[in-house]
Chain A
Amino acid sequence: MLRSIAARIAQALGLILAVMCLNFLLIHLTPGDPATVIVGESGAGDPELLEEIRAQYGLDRPFVVQLGTYIGRVATGDLGESYFFNQSVTSLISARLWPTVLLVGTALSFAVAAGTMVGVATARRPESPLSHGATVLALVGFSMPVFWTGIMLVILFASTWKLLPVQGWHDVSYGEGMLANVLDVGEHLVLPALTLGLIYLAQYSRLSRASMLEVLESDYVRTARAKGLGERRVVYKHALRNAVIPVVTVIGLQFGALLSGALLVETVFNWPGLGRLAFDSILRRDTSVLLGVLMVSSVMVIVANLLTDLLYTIIDPRIRLRERSNV
């Protein structure tokens, strides 16, 4: 098991290096550079200023030298300086990482929990009105673009009914005590997490429904029923474990897409996370920040997939046994 994890980590390091080089190349192929944006922000520009800025950040050096310098710095844990903010990329990312983890984590937990519950409920009575209604709602949820859902929720809950805040991740009068702060962040989290979670809720409910329908037809479930176990116990104790394996697989595969969705949600709700930082960095050609965010995102996706693999072994011990027998 440990050897397997070590091998996966070694693979991941190689993958991260490849992703880093590819990102560096792609970003440098795009037209325009950070100096142009900084000059644009200044409302005036001349060649001297452009050259000064390019020299300051080493942008006037050959591509290979820039790439080599970058890889060398990253190897020592230094992600460089933001061209736009003149701050270390690490500090910018660390300030934005937690809001994104909170948003994505909450949305994912909500989507998995609610989606699985809906899936199981509809699988138990596939022809019921509840099942048909859930199918239609899942279709609607899956069809709505994330940004549109977000705007609609803002119009309803923040603008029309004034129940929840419009934007941000906490009130500016923050600091009135721990409980108040927790409630404040929670209040700001509701709409963004709901927006991001809805689309995945739809997917997971359909997936878990299909999976549960299949599992409920299997021999061991029939045996469990024949032995006189209650239906609730059969479904939740025996069938659910096997039914959620495809859901877990999809979570790992979709983690990257979830981060992409977070970018849109963070923009709509002014949620100060990595997605918004990446989006703004693209517009500003703040390549050092963009590279940093892409690298952190890559690591997050790789870690998510690694965790997914580990989760299999917890849900279904046979996977671990098979792997052991292979070793």
Chain B
Amino acid sequence: MKKWRLLVAVLAVFALVAAACASDDDDDGAAPAATAAPDTDDMADDDMADDGDDDMADDDGDMADDDMADDDMAAAHGPCNDGANVGGTLIIGSTQVPRHLNGTVQSGYATAVPGTQLNASPLLYDDEYNPMPYLAESWDVADDGLSVTLHLVEDAVFHDGMPVTSADVAFSILTAQAHHPFKPMFAPVTGVDTPDEHTAVINLSQPHPAILLAMSPGLLPVIPKHIFDDGQELPTHPRNTEDFVGSGPFRLVEYEAGTIIRMERFDDFFIEGAPCLDEIVMQIIPDATNIVLGLENGEIDLSVTLGPSANVLRLMENENVTVSSDGHEAIGQIQWLEMNVDDPALSDKRVRQAIAYAIDRDFMIDALDQGLTIPATSGIVTASPFHDSTVNPYDRDVDQAKALLAEAGYGDGDLSLTIDYIPPTQVIYAEYVVQALEDVGINVELSVSPDFPTWAGRIAGRDYQMTINNVWNWGDPVIGVHRSYLTDNIDQGIWTNNTGYSNAEVDRILAEAGQELDAERRAALYAEFQQIVSDEVPIYYLTTPQFWQAYNPTVQDPPTRTIWGMMSPMHEVWLDQ
């Protein structure tokens, strides 16, 4: 018996020791340290190009005086206060699982959050949609809008010590053009000239007002040509995760798929003094509740996703945690009800309008979302400079809805429809729509898909009548809005024009707005578009969910003064320890 006990004890100790060794081994997969990196000089003054870009950016972007004062202070002492704020490990919790880390071929929040730490991009954006220097210290847009010239900083290097050149920028743009899911971002690019190592000229087939925004951190990471241009397919390239080499403020030291991403300070980052943190560890935690508990316990410093409303409200009551939705304006998430306009009943505009009038958006926000979302009244989010606030919001009017249905020939109980939703989170909205439409005499049945692929297959194949959906603006209407309304984008897969809506006037307006460089004229075109779509209601807009993030009091200067939120480099984040 004693031998058995001894054996069990030895096995138990062995198991724990082996576990410890197994995790130690993870560190062995570190990316090679940067070698032979040239000395970094002071970054050039943050003077933006003084020509060409005014029309591309939003004009109302004057910063408040106190913000300016803060910025002057930061400039005087550098992003990390002359080294006073340097050090520490930031532990990030996220429910999002990145496929890999190469943002030139993979879009989405999951890749962009770590990807923007590992890669620099040509431009940054402030919280007023103004482009800011990053790898490009200045830029010029040609008067005819057919070319954009980027002037790159001279002392930027990749994590392996090789310089970041215009050839890398050209390679990154052409890679994104070929493989990035957001095709409109670089569709008009006909080529990229590289007259010298620090100048890249992007040639366009037509004026393209979204081109600068498409060079934001989350959309165009600059990747090393000398590593990725080796003849292998970019979407499945092994270096998308293994020994990843980027140009950003942090370098990869550990990556375990779906579990952990460990990044440490890149000492040769081109912005002097930055980054402030020694290390960022991103833990992938599928259950948001665990993240909330981790924040409360101090196991996690910052969460980039919080999950259901209950989690957000719980943390809001905790005085040791800051909860904020600031800084994600460009993402422009909209929850909407879309209708298959080829359905016999839903092809009638009056029926679609009646459905819109039957739904109480305020109830959804107050009761279902517990006040954590804001109303959406058009396909362009409120935070966008192109949003038109004068469209008909279709506030609930049961009498009006019944009158419209009667006009269309439907009495009480004559019309039966089905509603789909993205499982499992949207079920409450679909259930509410069932109730709301019953009030105006429409029978609605839930159409349940067990998981996302099943739902996506049904919607992309237009095997549905109505569905709740969640679509993102992605900063510029060209990237995230046009796709849902253009006739030539009908049935082109999920999150294209899945309603089958077709209007020649809308096609013309969007084509024109997609090439208009003057911000005011562009806004007028989009206002016209929003009015037409609002009247024809192929989609009824419900809410704009907010991107809630939470962090503990030690986390200072998180990226909230931007339109891209956590899809921004955290080189200025520091820990008040």
Is B451 touching A45 in the complex (CB atoms < 8 A)?
no
Is A166 touching B293 in the complex (CB atoms < 8 A)?
yes
Task: Classify the interface of chain B: helix, strand, loop or mixed.
Answer: mixed
A135 to B425, CA, bound (A): 40
Chain B residues, Cβ within 8 Å of A49 = 181, 493
Q: Which of B19, B100, B110 contacts A86 (CB 8 A)?
A: B100
Q: Which of B1, B12, B24, B99 contacts A41 (CB 8 A)?
A: B99
Is A85 touching B453 in the complex (CB atoms < 8 A)?
no
Min distance, Cβ A232 to any Cβ of chain B, angstroms: 12
Is B452 touching A40 in the complex (CB atoms < 8 A)?
yes
Assess whether B270 is interfacial by the CB under 8 Å rule: no
Assess whether B412 is interfacial by the CB under 8 Å rule: no
On whether A86 and B256 interact (CB within 8 A), knowing A45-B493, A158-B293, A182-B20, the answer reads no
Is A280 touching B286 in the complex (CB atoms < 8 A)?
yes
22 contacts between A and B (CB under 8 A): A31-B453, A31-B454, A32-B454, A36-B457, A37-B452, A45-B493, A45-B494, A86-B235, A95-B256, A102-B19, A159-B297, A167-B290, A167-B299, A169-B23, A170-B23, A172-B89, A172-B283, A267-B287, A270-B286, A270-B290, A272-B259, A280-B286
Assess whether B296 is interfacial by the CB under 8 Å rule: yes
A46 to B181, CA, bound (A): 8
Assess whether A165 is interfacial by the CB under 8 Å rule: yes
Assess whether A304 is interfacial by the CB under 8 Å rule: no
Assess whether B547 is interfacial by the CB under 8 Å rule: no
Assess whether B177 is interfacial by the CB under 8 Å rule: no
Assess whether B492 is interfacial by the CB under 8 Å rule: yes
Is A280 touching B257 in the complex (CB atoms < 8 A)?
no
Determine the residue in chain B with the shortest Cβ distance to A87. B257
On whether A44 and B99 interact (CB within 8 A), knowing A86-B241, A92-B257, A270-B287, the answer reads no
- Which B residues are closer than 8 A to A by beta carbons? 1, 8, 12-13, 15-20, 22-24, 27, 89, 91, 97, 99-100, 106-108, 110, 181-183, 233, 235-236, 238, 240-241, 256-260, 262, 281, 283, 285-287, 290, 293-294, 296-297, 299, 451-454, 456-457, 460, 472, 474, 483, 492-496
Chain B residues, Cβ within 8 Å of A270 = 285-287, 290
A162 to B294, CA, bound (A): 10
Chain A residues, Cβ within 8 Å of B16 = 102, 182, 185-186, 189
Is B472 touching A43 in the complex (CB atoms < 8 A)?
yes
Determine the residue in chain A with the shortest Cβ distance to B110. A41
Determine the residue in chain B with the shortest Cβ distance to A94. B22
Which 7 interchain pairs have the tightest Cβ spacing? A32-B453, A181-B20, A45-B493, A42-B181, A44-B181, A167-B290, A166-B293
Is B456 touching A87 in the complex (CB atoms < 8 A)?
no
Assess whether A209 is interfacial by the CB under 8 Å rule: no
Is A182 touching B240 in the complex (CB atoms < 8 A)?
no
Determine the residue in chain A with the shortest Cβ distance to B102. A86
Min distance, Cβ B281 to any Cβ of chain A, angstroms: 4
Chain A residues, Cβ within 8 Å of B13 = 182
Min distance, Cβ A267 to any Cβ of chain B, angstroms: 7
Kindly count the residue-residue contacts between A and B in the assembled complex, taking CB atoms under 8 Å apart. 181
Determine the residue in chain A with the shortest Cβ distance to B257. A85
Is B452 touching A236 in the complex (CB atoms < 8 A)?
no
Determine the residue in chain A with the shortest Cβ distance to B19. A185
Assess whether A283 is interfacial by the CB under 8 Å rule: yes
A162 to B296, CA, bound (A): 10
Assess whether A120 is interfacial by the CB under 8 Å rule: no
Determine the residue in chain B with the shortest Cβ distance to A162. B297
Min distance, Cβ B347 to any Cβ of chain A, angstroms: 24
Is B1 touching A182 in the complex (CB atoms < 8 A)?
no
Chain B residues, Cβ within 8 Å of A158 = 293, 297
Min distance, Cβ B96 to any Cβ of chain A, angstroms: 9
Min distance, Cβ A21 to any Cβ of chain B, angstroms: 23
Min distance, Cβ B264 to any Cβ of chain A, angstroms: 12
A154 to B294, CA, bound (A): 11
Residue among A38, A46, A268, A283 with most chain B CB within 10 A = A46
Min distance, Cβ A180 to any Cβ of chain B, angstroms: 9
A280 to B284, CA, bound (A): 12
A52 to B22, CA, bound (A): 37
Determine the residue in chain A with the shortest Cβ distance to B25. A95
Min distance, Cβ A118 to any Cβ of chain B, angstroms: 17
A107 to B456, CA, bound (A): 39
Is A283 touching B452 in the complex (CB atoms < 8 A)?
yes
Determine the residue in chain B with the shortest Cβ distance to A155. B293
Chain A residues, Cβ within 8 Å of B262 = 172
Is A173 touching B89 in the complex (CB atoms < 8 A)?
yes
Chain A residues, Cβ within 8 Å of B494 = 36, 39-40, 45
On whether A43 and B495 interact (CB within 8 A), knowing A33-B453, A38-B99, A109-B12, the answer reads yes
Is B493 touching A47 in the complex (CB atoms < 8 A)?
yes
Is B283 touching A178 in the complex (CB atoms < 8 A)?
no
Contact with B along A236-253 (1 / 0, CB 8 A): 100000000000000000
Assess whether A277 is interfacial by the CB under 8 Å rule: yes
Chain A residues, Cβ within 8 Å of B492 = 45-47
Chain B residues, Cβ within 8 Å of A85 = 99-100, 241, 257-258
Contact with B along A40-80 (1 / 0, CB 8 A): 11111111011011001000000000000000000000000
Is B472 touching A45 in the complex (CB atoms < 8 A)?
no
